[in-house]
Amino acid sequence: MHRVWRILRVIGIVLLVIAILLGGVYLALPNGPRDPMTFNDPWRQDRPMVQASSYAVVAGTPWATDAAMAVLDGGGNAFDAAAAALLVLNVTHGEAASFPGIAPLVLYDAATQTVHSYIGAGKAPAAATLQFFQAKGYKTMPDLNILAQLVPASPDVIISLLADYGTLSFAQVSAAAIKIGREGFPVHEIMFKNMDLSLINRIGYQIIFPYNTQVYLNGQFWRPLVYKDRFTTPDLANSLQSMADAETAALKAGGDRKAGLQAVRDYFYKGPLAQAIVKMEQQQGGLISAEDLAQYSGGWETPVQGSYGEYTFYTNGTWSQGAAGPLALQILEGIDLKSMGHNSPQYVHTVAQAIELAMADREAYMADPAFVSVPLSELMSKPYAAARRAQMTPTGAFGPLPTPGVLSGSGTLRVTNTAVQTDQSAALPAALSSALDGARIGKDTTQLAIVDKWGNAIAITPSDFPKTPMVPGTGLTLGNRMTQFRLDPNNVDVVAPGKRPRVTPQAVIVFKNGQFYMAFNSPGDDMQTQALIQVFLNMTVFGMDIQQAINAPRFRDMSMPATFAPHAAFPGTLLLESTLYDQSVAGLQALGYTITRSPDWDNTFGAVGAVLKRAGGGLLAGSDPREEATAAGR
């Protein structure tokens, strides 16, 4: 027995010595900044509302705003500027909105006075069957896994936008992104927060995704990302340059502008970049094939439409959650919100209930309309909104999501007593914090909105994160959007080959009395719809200007199942920013809500950007201090 103890003691001493030595080696390794840059980070800084006479931009990082403004200064239109800003966002906010991820888009064409939506979310690969995932034993879509990758969408979005509405070449609109990718930019606060991984997480990241670690940590897992350090994306810059070179070659061969743009698209979906993607998929057990890439297309669609008083909303189809916003506002229409007082307990309760009713219908009905017959005309009708409004209660929280409305084949509204099924999670607050934080690594999204001197307007809400293997040597991040599918065969959002998941990002164009009024959007997964509703009501009900409306404290309703797997829900739970918490916590608790306090101007509550046309001419733009969103105008 004594011998066993001696052996164990020796082993313990040896392990302790090894740990001390490894700790010493770790401490001796360089872990500070490599090349710090000067940067006045706009995060949580109050900023003035931008007033412009000709054109205005708001985008998720200052560099994207600068790129869009440079295009507009040079005579390009809003659509050219949007393509340039999107690519710069893919570089400077690539951990949250990567190339070639998703990019939902809505635009207003001033020449024809029409609004169009572009299908900016990718499709599931042909091999992504429900049976495939069930056979592997998955109950929800796996994250941190190559199986979570959709066929990329944003290259298709950019080329279609430029071909159909732009005036510049891909080489012109990609130049700023390529330059910044090579020369670098300072790590900003939200990027730092998104990639601020512990040592254990960095070691795991290195093991699971070695190329991702090369891109984001320079291959040195012991060295964390450092705030304001220079960050470069040379591989992505080279990929974009190669796409631009393909265009140049096509033009030199006698092709016209559209032939040049087609060459860019082919380089990505059929050429060397497609080949690199397929090679990785084959080597690492992924599902995306050469055929999936070659056959991919997005396409223009009629936007979803809803209204609130004199305002009309246009948003993306039901392959996004966009329809939930105007549906909630139509439920609120006619309620005297102003008399309740801004952010009073009764006001928050009323708006939250409308959001929950709309989200119940999101869960029951909204999915890729190419695969699901969505009763959109009835869902967005005023009689339907009135019926849903009648289900609201002035004196108590719903708790679990309310019953969805059921529309019969004859168009007559019925209400079922079968509750929407939500996945329940563990007790608050630890489980809630975990659900919001996730496996950090990105977890955001970003935004841009632009109005040009001709009156054209566009909003794009790009996203995707380095939570699956990046394509070696290319800088391409294929993201994890398959995790927004369900693996329940009875769910409208169940995975199927060629189907799009119902993604959270959405873009919105607003008209007032039949005329263009505003382009706006926000990051923030299931908070996006909630943030846009609150900002809009701040303006239209309480008379705030756009910057005041954006700055005002917000709440976040957690009752709906999270769109990302594992789809946790927290019935009757509200997150409140500190100022709102101090104002209304007691009253909301009395109404039956579970309340959690968050800091003011926290990006858990979205980051709205908006450009609007003011009465009498000119433009106003507002950007959100909750992130690095930046507005500018001339």
Q: Are residues 217 and 146 in the same domain?
A: yes
Is residue 193 assigned to a domain? yes
Residue pLDDT, tens place only, 297-309? 999 999 999 999 9
Six-digit token string for 616: 């009498």
Q: Are residues 431 and 452 in the same domain?
A: no
Q: Are residues 341 and 285 in the same domain?
A: no
Please tell me the least confidently modeled range out of 149-158, 173-182, 206-215, 397-406.
Answer: 397-406
Which of 422, 456, 484 is a domain's end point? 484
CATH at residue 606: 1.10.246.130
Is residue 45 assigned to a domain? no
Q: Are residues 417 and 545 in the same domain?
A: yes
What's the pLDDT at 444? 77
Is residue 224 assigned to a domain? yes
CB neighbour burial string for 124-160, b if at least 16 within 10 angstroms, e if fewer: bbeebebeebeeeeeebbbbbbbbbbbbbbbbbbbbb
Is residue 102 assigned to a domain? yes
Is residue 512 assigned to a domain? no
Whether the pLDDT of residue 416 is over 50: the answer is no
Residue pLDDT, tens place only, 106-147? 999 999 999 999 999 999 999 999 999 999 999 999 999 999
Look at the alpha carbons of 582, 588, 589, 593 in this order and tell me if their dihedral is positive or negative: negative
What's the pLDDT at 421? 40
Q: Are residues 424 and 571 in the same domain?
A: yes
Q: Are residues 457 and 376 in the same domain?
A: no
What's the pLDDT at 425? 43
Q: Give the up-direction half-sphere exposure of residue 607: CA atoms within 13 A in the CB hemisphere.
A: 30
Counted residue by residue, the chain has a size of 634
Q: Are residues 325 and 373 in the same domain?
A: yes
Cβ–Cβ < 8 Å for 405, 384: yes
What's the pLDDT at 32? 78
Q: Are residues 348 and 478 in the same domain?
A: no
Exposed, middle or buried: residue 490 (CB in 10 Å: 0-12, 13-18, 19+)?
exposed
Distance CA 521, CA 508 (A): 6
Is residue 104 assigned to a domain? yes
Distance CA 466, CA 587 (A): 41
- Residue type at position 443: K
Q: Are residues 111 and 221 in the same domain?
A: yes
The number of distinct structural domains making up the chain is: 3
Q: Are residues 5 and 25 in the same domain?
A: yes
How far out from the chain centre does Cα 342 lie? 27
Q: Are residues 412 and 541 in the same domain?
A: yes
What's the pLDDT at 223? 93
pLDDT mean over 630-634: 98
Domain boundaries, position 355: 317-438+526-633
Q: Are residues 142 and 248 in the same domain?
A: yes
What's the pLDDT at 406? 77
Is residue 393 assigned to a domain? yes
Cβ–Cβ < 8 Å for 121, 153: yes
How far out from the chain centre does Cα 528 lie? 8
What's the pLDDT at 407? 76
Residue pLDDT, tens place only, 423-442? 444 445 566 555 555 555 66
Is residue 356 assigned to a domain? yes
What's the pLDDT at 317? 98
